[in-house]
Chains A and B, each alone.
Chain A
Amino acid sequence: MGLKTAFARLAAGAPARCFAIVGAGADEIAPWLRLDPELAIVDSPRAADVLLVLGRFNEDTLHAAAAVHDLVPPPRGVVSWSPGHEAARGLPFTDAVALSDPSEIGSAAVRLRDELLSGRRASSPDILPDVDPAPWRGVGPFGQGGAGMTGGVPYGRPLAGRANDRDGLKLDQILVRVGPFLPPFPPGLMLDVKIQGDVIQEVSMPAAALDDGSSVADEHHSSEAPGSTEAMTRFAAVQHDPFIAALMRPVPVADLELARARHHLAWLAEALRVSGLEAYGRRVLKLARTVRPEAAEPVDDLSRWLRRNLSLRWGTSGVGVVSASQAAALPGGPVARAAGDGRDVRSLDPAYQRLGFMPVVLEVGDALARWRLRVAEAQQALTLAKRSNGSVTTPSGLVEGLRGPMGARVSASTALVTMLPELLVGMEWGDAVTAVVSLDIDMAEAAVLHDVAAEGRAS
């Protein structure tokens, strides 16, 4: 006991190791958690002390969240936060510390961790029953799960199937469901992936994927017209997003462009982290939080550093190439612009035209091009914000958002999610992750516009 107390006291000074599961409405909070010195965001629930449950969830994602909760090794605890003071509603975490102020997450997590490790608070119990999904032993003559030698589905899990691989052999293939909370992927993204070794042979979307998790729609959505600005307003209510505001009223160019620069830099921070440069990613994340149009030199330094870093170029060039025809099928946005498609709603806006705006366009269309394009756009955005001199946009029903035009029938995220299966097949796992991260998909955006599109088809 003495040793345990000593260990708990020693551990008390460390940041709380947290695994974050991010639902709808938490996009404003989640990316910045890594800047909190009281938190250490970990990649695996097995390495966590505290589970952070941020945002709102629907029935399916709640089940996945409960499964993640059971993976956290005891002693474990839950800190939850949700926009609009409805934290506790429907969550299965009975003993969660529910917060209404997201700025308290760090201190609450540390306090909870200390109580758990010192034994002053009981570990959060399992939510899901620990049983085999199917009976198994003893059906066939060798005790196997079915009549044939490899028949049956032991524990309800089918055995690996055979399929041709790229060397012309017929080898085992396993089906893996990825998501909705796998750290390198955007929260809410779910994919059914068939892998052979680490080569992806087939990708499909689970039926519920787009409605899942991130859907902020509720009982009202049948009253709205497809593509209407009301749908976007609903989105905006959660997002506090200047881009949504720009759909309806004039907004200062400086606001839009600063938000764009910050978003692109925060995206870069995450991309760097997934590439293995976690510490540098944190530096960039801090820059994303603090950058101002008047002091843009750090971004120029960053751009130079990126160009010089051969290892990043090695890992991203030629990965996840979006062809010119695929880019043309996208509604627009950075991914299309990195593949040579220069559409940009900003070109049509008089305020931008007065500032002499020219979209940044790259030709190659691979992950490296998308990295470079976003950094160049961040630099450009800061320059525009600095020179804008108080000019405002003219609302036209379309706005160049962070990922593509907003107000169009199909959002860039929806188009990118739909493109994923054909893009990822044949890639190795590492390349596939690089590609997905470089596309910068937002499942909340995809889900809202998916709802809207579905209504459009129904009416």
Chain B
Amino acid sequence: MNALGVVIAVVSVAFVAAAGVYVTAWIDLVLARAVAGLEVRPLDALIAPLRWAAATALKARTTTERPDAEAWALAPALLAALAAVGLAAVPLAPGLLAADVANGIVLFGAAMALVVVAVFLQGWSPNSPLPMIGGYRFIAQGLSYEIPLAVVLIAAALPARSLAIAPIVTSQEHLWNVVRQPLGLPLYLMAGLGLAFWGPLALPEGQDLAGGSSLETSGASLLLWRAAQLLVLVAVAAMGTAVFLGGWLGPLLPGAAWMILKTLFLLIPLIATRHFVARVPTERYVVVSWAILIPLSLLDVFAAGIQALMAAR
């Protein structure tokens, strides 16, 4: 790919990231009002995230007694950077890929593995007990979702015989992976919710911790942290689209349009879990993850392997 192509891809990833975060915040607000039994005013909801962001940006960044100040400042930026790398690994349209590496799936996995570091630092560094519990919780949660996430992604790469994502998309020309590997997408989405610490898996930031790992964060840091969290959610949905729903493949519409539609198709249920599913207790989640999700994901990868062998013969 030439330099111009890279620039175009990077710019489009930045645009998709900003738009994705905004749309996610909007959908969440609309759903919240609908569930709360309030009048849904989509246009008012369109400006509400901007109002919140403006008010938050005007607040000072406060500090606590003896925080790990550098790590605290780093954590939101790290989360945002990791989410952006995750999104950059996804081809948005044929040939439109910012992080053009031969091991896109591994790049995504590595970025998502480091999310644990960002959230733990966010919880640890304010030197305050409830955020610290939030940080600890996310370590337990992270070790539980990482393995199913990596295994189902590898299973999805098997039919393509490649770890790059564009070939994985094109390998779904005739049959999407969501059909070929029925276990894959549900497991991936469950792991993705944990990754974005959203909804039922918002364990580090639950209401029982009064906000948990971001309890002590204010001002621009808080704004960046929230945006980064939504960006993780967007990256999860986009990667899920590319790997399980055939990415840009589809009739009539241009590839990018299909990509956007399918990403929204995954994003909306992910966002909605926050309003319909209660937060699960940490310990029970960890037990279920190790006792059920990991064996299921292994089943998924074995089944995919057998299918790949049959196809090769």
Contact = CB atoms under 8 A, between A and B. Distances in A.
Query: Do A and B come into direct contact in the complex, CB within 8 Å?
Result: yes
Interface string A408-442: 00000000000000000000111101100000000
Give the interface size bracket for A toward B: 35 or more
A49 B55 CA distance: 8
Interface in A268-321: 272-280, 282-283, 286, 309, 311-312, 314-315, 319
Nearest to A11: B55
A276 B58 contact: no
Main secondary structure of the interface of B (DSSP, over half): helix
A197 B35 contact: no
Nearest to A14: B51
Contact of A279 (B36, B206, B216): B36
Given A283-B36, A429-B133, A73 B275 contact: no
A66 interface: no
Contacts of B56: 47
Interface string A226-237: 000000000000
B54 A8 contact: yes
A46 B217 contact: yes
Interface in B114-139: 129, 133, 136-137
A184 B55 contact: no
A271 B203 CA distance: 16
Contacts, number: 157
A136 to B, nearest CB: 9
Interface in B30-88: 31-33, 35-38, 47-48, 50-52, 54-62, 65-66
A406 interface: no
B284 interface: yes
Interface string A5-33: 01110111110010000000000000000
Given A311-B278, A315-B279, A198 B208 contact: no
B167 interface: no
Contact of B282 (A10, A71, A282, A428): A428
Contacts of B222: 46-47
Nearest to B29: A279
A250 interface: no
A142 interface: no
A152 B252 CA distance: 73
A74 interface: yes
A149 interface: no
Contacts of A278: 32, 207, 275
B264 interface: no
Interface residues of B, number: 55
Interface in A179-233: 182-184, 195, 197-198
Contacts of B216: 44, 46
Interface in A104-163: 113, 117, 132, 155
Contact of A277 (B38, B275, B283): B275
Given A73-B62, A276-B207, A309-B276, 19 more contacts: A8-B58, A14-B52, A14-B55, A49-B59, A71-B62, A73-B61, A74-B59, A155-B65, A273-B207, A274-B207, A278-B207, A280-B35, A280-B276, A286-B36, A286-B37, A314-B278, A314-B280, A429-B133, A433-B208
27 contacts: A7-B57, A10-B51, A11-B54, A11-B55, A12-B51, A13-B47, A14-B51, A14-B52, A44-B211, A44-B215, A46-B211, A46-B216, A47-B211, A73-B61, A74-B60, A117-B55, A184-B210, A277-B276, A278-B32, A278-B207, A279-B36, A280-B35, A283-B36, A311-B277, A314-B280, A430-B209, A430-B282
